[in-house]
Chain A
Amino acid sequence: GQSLEQPSEVTAVEGAIVQINCTYQTSGFYGLSWYQQHDGGAPTFLSYNALDGLEETGRFSSFLSRSDSYGYLLLQELQMKDSASYFCAVGYNTDKLIFGTGTRLQVFP
Chain B
Amino acid sequence: EAGVVQSPRYKIIEKKQPVAFWCNPISGHNTLYWYRQNLGQGPELLIRYENEEAVDDSQLPKDRFSAERLKGVDSTLKIQPAELGDSAVYLCASSSSGSFNEQFFGPGTRLTVL
A91 touches B100 (CB 8 A): yes
Total interface residues on A, CB under 8 Å, equals: 21
Q: A97 to B107, alpha carbons, bound, how many Å?
A: 19
Report which A residues bind B (CB closer than 8 A).
Answer: 30-31, 33, 41-45, 48, 50, 87, 89, 91, 95-102
Q: A87-B42, A102-B42 are in contact. Are A42 and B91 (CB under 8 A)?
A: yes
Q: A42-B91, A42-B108 are in contact. Are A33 and B43 (CB under 8 A)?
A: no
Q: A30 to B100, alpha carbons, bound, how many Å?
A: 11
B42 touches A97 (CB 8 A): no
Given the complex, which residues of B lie within 8 Å of A31, measured CB to CB? 101
**Shortest distance between the CB of B85 and any CB in chain A (Å):** 18
Given the complex, which residues of B lie within 8 Å of A50, measured CB to CB? 101
Query: Any chain A CB within 8 A of the CB of B1?
Result: no
Sample of 9 more A-B contacts, CB < 8 Å, known A31-B101, A101-B42, A102-B41:
A33-B102, A42-B91, A42-B106, A43-B105, A45-B103, A45-B104, A50-B101, A96-B45, A101-B40
A45 touches B107 (CB 8 A): no
Given the complex, which residues of B lie within 8 Å of A96, measured CB to CB? 45, 56, 100
8 closest pairs, A vs B, by CB? A99-B42, A42-B105, A43-B105, A48-B101, A33-B101, A91-B101, A45-B102, A87-B42
B43 touches A99 (CB 8 A): yes
Q: A42-B91, A43-B91 are in contact. Are A97 and B104 (CB under 8 A)?
A: no
Query: Any chain A CB within 8 A of the CB of B44?
Result: yes
Q: A27 to B10, alpha carbons, bound, how many Å?
A: 37
Q: A33-B101, A48-B101, A97-B101 are in contact. Are A41 and B107 (CB under 8 A)?
A: yes
